[in-house]
Amino acid sequence: MFRYFIKLGSLSIRKNPVLSALMVAAIAIGIGACMTVVNVYYVMNGDPIPAKSSELFYVQLDSWDPNEAVNDDGEPPDQVTYIDATALMAANRARRQVVSYQVGRVIQPEGEGARPFQVSGRASTADFFTMFDVPFQYGSGWDESADRSADQVVVLGRRTNDRVFGGEDSTGRRLVINGDSYRVVGVMDEWNPVPKFYDLTTGDFNDVEEVFMPFSVAIDKELSGWGNTNCWKPLGEGGWQAFLNSECVWMQMWVELGNEAEWAEYKAFLDAYTESQKALGRFQRPLNNSLLNVTEHLEAQEVVDDSVQILLVLAVLFLLVCLLNTIGLLLAKVMRRSGDVSLRRALGASRRAVFGQYITEAGMIGLAGGIIGIGLTRLGLTGIHVLYADLEWIDRVLGMDWVMVLTAVALAILSALAAALYPTWRAVRIHPASQLKSL
């Protein structure tokens, strides 16, 4: 029976080419606009590290000003102080832990005519690479002993390695960075999590840094952060030491915990630490520590722009308009072919058969509209690329994967079916004899 419906459907579509084309176009445009925005939203809202996102937790402590909250949302500051980061690291109460912050570095390649160039770097403790499953092209990260003895080692990004060492295995070789010599221990492979979840403070979708150095080395060299440094309390005298001992928040800390029990334990530890600091006169605000996993953290930091959300609302309404259009067109088609329906009913077709046929036809139109809609979505994404061409990372949120393609088709078919319900109901209600009289 279904195959008969398909045959009838395609006959009907061919007999009304203009009307059918308009219907397909209406659905395609609606799907195109809607899916363009949905696609961007989907990528921005995606899980950048699905294998581990529920095991990685961002540490946030409310060490802020007792007289004024750090923001209006009642959340603790989005970074931690040097004192707290180092104290928590020393306590070592999680499976793995990492503290890091962004730094600016200038690489001075050797050789004739080689000009120094600037890169963004990250000062980090050793576990960064294992915690975040960073892929390596050559070598690996450094280990804890390098952290402790502040070895001048460095991990390069693939692009920098290509530029300085021609893409060869540079592990063991030395490189001059800001006047000092560092030994390369590893070269990362292409890695750009979307969004850049481990540090959202300077740009949710920025490139991963090109140079990684041990945290202790950066502190020794008095490298201040390249990201945001927020202080509520005036610094005392004493330059760098005073800055390290201050209440300024400028680094990011993540811990890896295996299960609920470990999470509860670590949270309790954080709270106990805060209490002990209160006794020393710090943490004068009410207890407000945060230990969110990756997806929760992305949401709390509002990675998906308001602009995208607004567009999503408008795009869904746009689809609604296109659907209303489609209903009108389908209705017109049904009314035009009412003679056809009543003839078939008079010849013995059941109501269900009429219903089935029109729904199938709508489904076919939906499928066609969905397929064209995919093309229009691609066009829409290209349009966004052109609009935002100045934004280096825009291409990262414009990829269309098979989930989105299937969603587009499914949405198109479902919309077409929904749009067809009313016209089909009208068709079903046509009396067998009513239209035969005028024949």
Partner 1 sequence: MEIGPIWRAMWRNKSGYILIALQIAVTLAIMVNAVAIIQERSGLMARASGIDEDNIFHATSLVFAPDLDQRSLINEDLAALREIPGVIDAIATNSVPMRNGGWSMGLQVEPGVGVDGTGTAIYFTDDHGIETFGLNLVAGRDFRPEEITWNEPDEVRWPPSVIITRALAEALFPDESFEDVVGKTVYINQDDPMQVLGIVDRMQAPWVGWESVERSALVPMLRESSITRYVVRTQPGMLNELMPVVEELLATRSDNRIIDGLRTMADTRKRAYLDHASMIKMLSFIVTLLITITALGIVGLASFSVTRRTRQIGTRRALGATRPEILRYFVLENLIVSICGTTLGAGIAIGLNIWMVSAFDLAPMSWPIVPVAMLALIGVGLLATAGPARRASLVPPAVATRAV
Residue 156 as a binder of partner 1 (CB under 8 A): the answer is: no
Q: Report the amino acid identity of residue 147.
A: D
Dihedral over Cα of 346, 348, 354, 355: its sign: positive
The piece of 100-108, 133-141, 153-161, 353-361 that touches partner 1 (CB under 8 A) is 100-108
The answer to whether residues 283 and 62 touch, using CB atoms and an 8 Å cutoff, is yes
One symbol per residue from 214 to 243: x for binding partner 1 (CB under 8 A), - otherwise; what is it?
A: --------x-----------xx---xx-xx
Which runs of E-coded beta strand occur in 136-260?
136-139, 153-156, 174-177, 180-188, 211-214, 252-256
The piece of 45-53, 103-111, 395-403, 410-418 that touches partner 1 (CB under 8 A) is 103-111
Contact pick of 53, 277, 301, 309 for partner 1 (by CB under 8 A): 309
Q: How far is the CB of 423 from partner 1 (least distance, A)?
A: 9
The piece of 249-257, 273-281, 309-317, 397-405 that touches partner 1 (CB under 8 A) is 309-317
Contact pick of 3, 112, 307, 402 for partner 1 (by CB under 8 A): 307
Residue 21 as a binder of partner 1 (CB under 8 A): the answer is: no
Q: Closest CB to partner 1 among 11 and 317? A: 317
Residue 17 as a binder of partner 1 (CB under 8 A): the answer is: no
One symbol per residue from 43 to 82: x for binding partner 1 (CB under 8 A), - otherwise; what is it?
A: ------------------------x---------------
Residue 327 as a binder of partner 1 (CB under 8 A): the answer is: yes
Joined tokens for residue 172: 């063991």
> What are the two backbone dihedrals, phi and then psi, of residue 89, each rounded to the nearest 5 degrees?
-65, -45
Q: Closest CB to partner 1 among 235 and 406? A: 235
Q: How far is the CB of 62 from partner 1 (least distance, A)?
A: 17
The answer to whether residues 180 and 108 touch, using CB atoms and an 8 Å cutoff, is no
- Render 250-305 in DSSP notation, one character per residue: -BEEEEE--SHHHHHHHHHHHHHHHHHHHHTT---SPP--EEEEHHHHHHHTT-S-
Joined tokens for residue 69: 């909250």
Q: Which residues contact 400 (CB under 8 A, 6 or more apart)?
A: 39, 374, 377, 378, 381
One symbol per residue from 284 to 303: x for binding partner 1 (CB under 8 A), - otherwise; what is it?
A: --------------------
End-to-end CA distance of the chain: 28
Bond into 432 cis (ω within 30): no
Radius of gyration for the alpha carbons in the chain, expressed in angstroms and rounded: 30
Q: Closest CB to partner 1 among 264 and 324? A: 324
Q: How far is the CB of 269 from partner 1 (least distance, A)?
A: 31
Return the closest-CA partner of residue 311 out of 26, 42, 32, 41.
41
CA-to-CA distance for 74 and 64, rounded, in angstroms? 11
Instruction: State the number of binding residues for partner 1 (CB under 8 A).
Output: 51
Give me the residues that bind partner 1 (CB under 8 A), please. Answer: 22, 26, 29, 33, 67, 104, 106, 108, 115-118, 178-180, 222, 234-235, 239-240, 242-243, 305-307, 309-311, 313-315, 317-318, 320-322, 324-325, 327-329, 331-332, 383-384, 387-388, 390-391, 422, 426
